[in-house]
Amino acid sequence: MPEQRAAITGLGTYVPEKILTNAELEKMVDTSDEWITTRTGIRERRIAAPGEATSDLAREAARRALADAGVEAREIDLIIVATNTPDMLFPATACLLQESLGAERAGAFDLLAGCTGFIYALVTGGQFIAAGGAQTVLAVGAETLSRIVNWRDRNTCVLFGDGAGAAVLRAAPAGYGLLASRLGAHGAGGPLLCLPAGGSRRPACRETVEQDLHFVHMNGREVFKFAVKTMEEGTRGVMEDAGLSVADIDFLIPHQANIRIIDAAVKRLGLAPERVLVNVDRYGNTSTASIPLALQEARQAGRIKDGDNVVLVGFGAGLTWAAAAVRWFDARRPE
């Protein structure tokens, strides 16, 4: 019997109302709209309201995903929340979400794989469905990165935004769903992108606060190189596993960190730009939320249709990377 594949049967996204434009950032740090736009492609990003935490964003996205899939919260067997900005170190944000959704039957855990987290969560959830350990999985990527960026550091504060996306996973009809996936990590690159303090290595104390060690630290050049290489290799890897050529790829959903990374990777792959979704201009890098936000946008714009071959690919802190090839299942397609 062939392995049971998982499909995304519902999607939901949520972004906070407040928009922070490059013009507003010019008043906060020494930067310019021109510099940010040419280096990153970002024009604006969303910022969570005071008191709005990651689980709040996740809840809105999850409710929309459940409604989209026509699934009740109590039907969920497993909740996986990929995030770098949990409400607190513990309990898991997934447990806070389980409570606020009323998903009484669900197991729940968080997954930490940097900006790659959503693909890791999708693949992990897909494995539970393939193995029969769960029938309905909720995979979420949610972030309030505005809470961990240093708003005095012009190199990083312009890059990130807040948002959330959620996907309901269920068994796919024959021929649909998750065709292939590859997960990777390069632990040696960990220091290139990290939040140094607040864990067991450097517990929070006055010095760690004074030295800005509770903020995102990043070596952009090295991460850029890693990103371009792994996005190309990851995409080629899952294409090979799924038996797809470049011409077979209907749509690529890359992690939205920086337009220059996306452009460089797409050029190396030889993909036509119209087959790539870009929305980094409006949301910045929302880390684990970026892939579901982009996927939802492509779907709502009618750019992804039932039966399309879609590749999701990302990279992030860890360093990590992942790619997944999906034959898109539109649950509302005409029979």
Partner 1 sequence: MSVFDKVKSIIVEQLGVEEADVNMEASFIEDLGADSLDIVELVMALEEEFDLVIPDEDAEKIRTVGEAVKYIQDHQ
Minimum distance, C-beta of residue 219 to partner 1, in the bound complex (Å): 7
Active-site residue 194, yes or no? no
Helices 93-101 and 54-69, axial angle in degrees (round to 10)? 50
Question: Which residue lies nearer to partner 1 by CB, 39 or 63?
Answer: 39
Q: How many angstroms separate the first and last alpha carbons of the chain?
A: 25
Active-site residue 157, yes or no? no
76/285 Cα distance (integer angstroms): 29
| Contact (CB, 8 A) for 224 and 261 | yes
Active-site residue 214, yes or no? no
Question: Which residue lies nearer to partner 1 by CB, 278 or 331?
Answer: 278
Residues near partner 1, by CB under 8 A: 38-39, 219, 221-222, 224-225, 228-229, 260, 264
Q: Give how far Cα 221 sits from Cα of 136, 154, 180, 186, 224, Å.
A: 40, 15, 30, 16, 5
Question: Which residue lies nearer to partner 1 by CB, 12 or 41?
Answer: 41
Q: Give how far Cα 331 sits from Cα of 74, 97, 183, 324, Å.
A: 20, 25, 27, 20
Minimum distance, C-beta of residue 16 to partner 1, in the bound complex (Å): 28
Catalytic residue among 95, 157, 255, 258: 255
Minimum distance, C-beta of residue 279 to partner 1, in the bound complex (Å): 20
Minimum distance, C-beta of residue 161 to partner 1, in the bound complex (Å): 20
Provide the β-strand partners of residue 139: 80, 167
Rg over CA atoms, the chain: 19
| Contact (CB, 8 A) for 82 and 320 | no
Catalytic residue among 84, 258, 285, 309: 285
Minimum distance, C-beta of residue 192 to partner 1, in the bound complex (Å): 9
Catalytic residue among 22, 84, 95, 115: 115
Which residue in 224, 293, 291 sits closest to 263, CA to CA?
224
Catalytic residues: 115, 255, 285
